[in-house]
């Protein structure tokens, strides 16, 4: 018995074609301004001498966390510099920073709204489950028709891929605020906005920082994968090593990715502990 095949792929492809044709002006504008932001941050970081930027990062790690993290950052960044991967590391850091800022800017309002509305919470959770279980490579597919090959498509795919943890942790943090404190705020006549900004958000800040930490880690992993669609950085070094069958170069770039990931992770965890 033959079963009629649902043309799901054709529907999705047709929808993407319609969106790219109808909103090409919008996507071109977004691509233009995003490219300006990427180039400006890249040029600013690369304008600084390597030793000066290294010293600034080490000082930041020491002030935010401890001297141990400062020493580890100095050794790790010195190794990246010695391997000749400083510029790709800066390009990767630029993409991660921009993608994280955009993802958090979208995720915080959505997470707050989902925490305050039970209906929106029930609607958003299955969508977030779907987004988090979708393979990372799939997010590269719609990025290309919208923004073409390059770093802008990488930013688009990275933002979509890394947003769910920030939304989840924002919602979780606000919903876990003790009911007694909410009732105390109500008893003192606090408005809804006062309860949000003076009670719920400050008390949920450590959980929010955990969500931002996860967003940064996912953004870094996606930026590396996005080298397949022309994104610059350490991911392109790994991809180039695979294409040229140079395992040594690939491992060097991979070690640089690990160092950058550990540095960002320790920094955000230190900020989370200080906020707690």
Question: Of 96, 100, 106, 111, nearest to 169 (Cα)?
Answer: 111
Instruction: Look over the chain and give the mean of its residue pLDDT values, rounded to a whole number.
Output: 85
pLDDT at residue 141, as a whole number: 83
Rounded Cα distance, 228 and 56, in Å: 32
Contact, 214 vs 128, CB < 8 A? no
Instruction: Work out the average pLDDT over 269-273.
Output: 73
Name the one residue in this structure whose structure tokens are 């279980």. Answer: 133
Q: How confident is the model at residue 266 (pLDDT cuts 50, 70, 90)?
A: confident
Instruction: Work out the average pLDDT over 228-248.
Output: 85
Alpha helix locations (H) across the chain? 8-22, 24-47, 50-64, 67-82, 86-116, 118-133, 140-147, 151-175, 179-187, 192-195, 201-203, 205-225, 234-243, 247-275
Contact, 141 vs 9, CB < 8 A? no
Most confident of 12-16, 86-90, 149-153, 226-230: 86-90
pLDDT at residue 274, as a whole number: 59
Name the one residue in this structure whose structure tokens are 């949920």. Answer: 204
Instruction: Work out the average pLDDT over 253-263.
Output: 89
Sign of torsion over alpha carbons 188, 274, 158, 101: positive
Contact, 154 vs 31, CB < 8 A? no
Least confident segment among 71-75, 78-82, 139-143, 171-175: 139-143
Does residue 89 or residue 2 have the better pLDDT?
89
Tokens of 167: 């939304």
**pTM for this one?**
0.87
Instruction: Work out the average pLDDT over 222-248.
Output: 85
Least confident segment among 26-30, 67-71, 159-163, 211-215: 26-30
Q: How confident is the model at residue 275 (pLDDT cuts 50, 70, 90)?
A: low
Question: Of 103, 104, 27, 42, nearest to 232 (Cα)?
Answer: 42
Instruction: Work out the average pLDDT over 124-143.
Output: 85
Q: How confident is the model at residue 1 (pLDDT cuts 50, 70, 90)?
A: low
Q: Per-residue pLDDT for 227 more than 80?
A: yes
Q: How confident is the model at residue 187 (pLDDT cuts 50, 70, 90)?
A: confident
Instruction: Work out the average pLDDT over 26-40.
Output: 82
Tokens of 122: 């029930």
Tell the burial category of 52 from Cβ atoms under 10 Å away from its Cβ (0-12, 13-18, 19+): exposed
Question: Of 222, 214, 231, nearest to 268 (Cα)?
Answer: 214
Please, what are the domains in the chain?
Answer: 17-274 (1.10.3720.10)
Q: How confident is the model at residue 276 (pLDDT cuts 50, 70, 90)?
A: low
| Total Cβ atoms within 10 A of residue 126 | 9
């Amino acid at each position: 018995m033959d079963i009629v095949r649902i043309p799901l792929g054709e529907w999705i492809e047709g929808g993407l074609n319609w969106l790219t044709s109808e909103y090409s002006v919008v996507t071109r504008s977004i691509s233009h301004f995003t490219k300006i932001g990427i180039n400006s941050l890249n040029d600013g970081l690369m304008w600084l001498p390597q030793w000066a930027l290294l010293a600034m990062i080490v000082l930041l790690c020491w002030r935010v966390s401890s001297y141990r993290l400062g020493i580890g950052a100095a050794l790790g960044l010195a190794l990246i510099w010695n391997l000749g991967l400083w510029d790709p590391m800066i390009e990767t850091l630029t993409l991660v920073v921009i993608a994280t800022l955009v993802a958090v800017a979208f995720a915080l309002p959505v997470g707050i709204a989902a925490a305050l509305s039970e209906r929106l919470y029930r609607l958003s959770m299955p969508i977030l489950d779907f987004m988090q279980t979708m393979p990372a490579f799939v997010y590269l597919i719609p990025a290309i028709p919208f923004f073409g090959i390059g770093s802008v498509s990488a930013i688009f795919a990275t933002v979509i891929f890394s947003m769910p943890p920030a939304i989840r942790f924002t919602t979780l943090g606000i919903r876990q605020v003790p009911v007694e404190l909410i009732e105390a705020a109500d008893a003192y006549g606090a408005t809804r906005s006062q309860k949000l900004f003076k009670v719920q958000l400050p008390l949920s800040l450590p959980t929010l920082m955990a969500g931002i930490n996860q967003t940064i880690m996912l953004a870094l992993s996606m930026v590396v994968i996005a080298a397949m669609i022309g994104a610059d950085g350490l991911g392109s070094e790994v991809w180039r090593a695979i294409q040229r069958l140079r395992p040594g170069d690939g491992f060097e770039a991979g070690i640089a990715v690990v160092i950058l990931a550990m540095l960002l992770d320790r920094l955000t965890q230190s900020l989370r502990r200080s906020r707690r």
